[in-house]
């Protein structure tokens, strides 16, 4: 697909180094956007930039710790040196806190709770705040936040990470609050809730024979993991003018997880 849906738009994507963030970066570049990637991993800068340029777009990659307002502020200063406004901001940065003690609430450690909320909800707050401040100056804009199906439904023993669920539920609530408040300012805010997607974050699930055996019931549309591009295309639609009358939406990209 290369229809120019985002021609001449300036888009920031956090968590751009891998998985959903990287797929979204490539797709937005192919669709004509100038893409700015923010990610804590500095090692992939050259390969990321090469992909963006091969897609026919200009891009910037700025190593950024999205849990740190100071790190994000430095990135924003660099962005401001090159661009006078932002059209689209996609918050993908986040991840699992399982190795830090996330789990069922009776077992979840305080370290696991704090780490996971910082990783998923604080990053989205800081990114959303930066996006909205810029878009208010420009008079319009599109914010897209990535949550999870676990922010909508409870997880059983295979997915019982309650800090993660709380953080993603918070992302949903924050996005809808932003959508309601900033609609009169011509700023749209929507949230995508992926199911199990084949990314580095889901490696535990991908390597689990038990979870793979369950996929036909968990995600019956395909009986398999989704691909990062599935989420990227949903983000493309929400970022485009074809979604100009959509704000506050919670779009599941989950192969049927939330309807079975």
User: Which tokens hold the place of 89?
Assistant: 């901001």
Burial class (CB in 10 A: 0-12, 13-18, 19+), 46: exposed
Query: How are strands ordered across the β-sheet holding 59-63?
Result: 59-63, 34-39, 10-14, 88-91, 141-146, 187-194, 250-253
Q: What residues does 191 pair with on adjacent strands?
A: 145, 250
Residue of 164, 182, 185, 242 with catalytic role: 164
Respond yes or no: is residue 164 known to be catalytic.
Answer: yes
Instruction: Kindly state the helix (H) or strand (E) to which residue 72 belongs, with its residue range.
Output: helix 69-82
Measured distance CA(182)–CA(176) in Å, rounded = 10
Active site (catalytic) residues: 164
């Amino acid at each position: 697909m290369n229809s120019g849906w985002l021609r001449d738009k300036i888009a920031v994507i956090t968590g751009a180094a891998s998985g959903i963030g990287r797929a979204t970066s490539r797709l937005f570049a192919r669709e004509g956007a100038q893409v700015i990637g923010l990610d804590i991993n500095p090692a992939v800068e050259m390969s990321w930039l090469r992909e963006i340029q091969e897609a026919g777009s200009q891009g910037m990659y700025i190593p950024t710790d999205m849990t740190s307002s100071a790190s994000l502020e430095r990135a924003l200063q660099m962005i401001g040196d090159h661009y006078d406004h932002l059209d689209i901001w996609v918050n993908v940065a986040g991840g699992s806190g399982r190795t830090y003690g996330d789990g069922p609430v009776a077992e979840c450690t305080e370290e696991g709770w704090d780490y996971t909320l910082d990783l998923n909800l604080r990053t989205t707050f800081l990114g959303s705040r930066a996006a909205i401040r810029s878009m208010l100056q420009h008079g319009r804009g599109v914010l897209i936040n990535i949550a999870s199906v676990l922010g909508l439904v409870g997880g059983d023993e295979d997915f019982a990470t309650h800090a993660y669920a709380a953080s993603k539920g918070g992302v949903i609530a924050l996005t809808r609050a932003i959508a309601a408040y900033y609609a009169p300012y011509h700023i749209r805010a929507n949230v995508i809730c992926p199911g199990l997607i084949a990314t580095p974050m889901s490696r535990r699930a991908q390597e689990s024979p038990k979870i793979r055996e369950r996929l036909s019931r968990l995600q019956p549309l395909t009986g398999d993991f989704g691909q990062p591009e599935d989420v990227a295309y949903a983000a493309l639609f929400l970022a485009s003018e074809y979604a100009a009358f959509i704000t506050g939406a919670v779009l599941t990209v989950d192969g049927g997880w939330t309807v079975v």
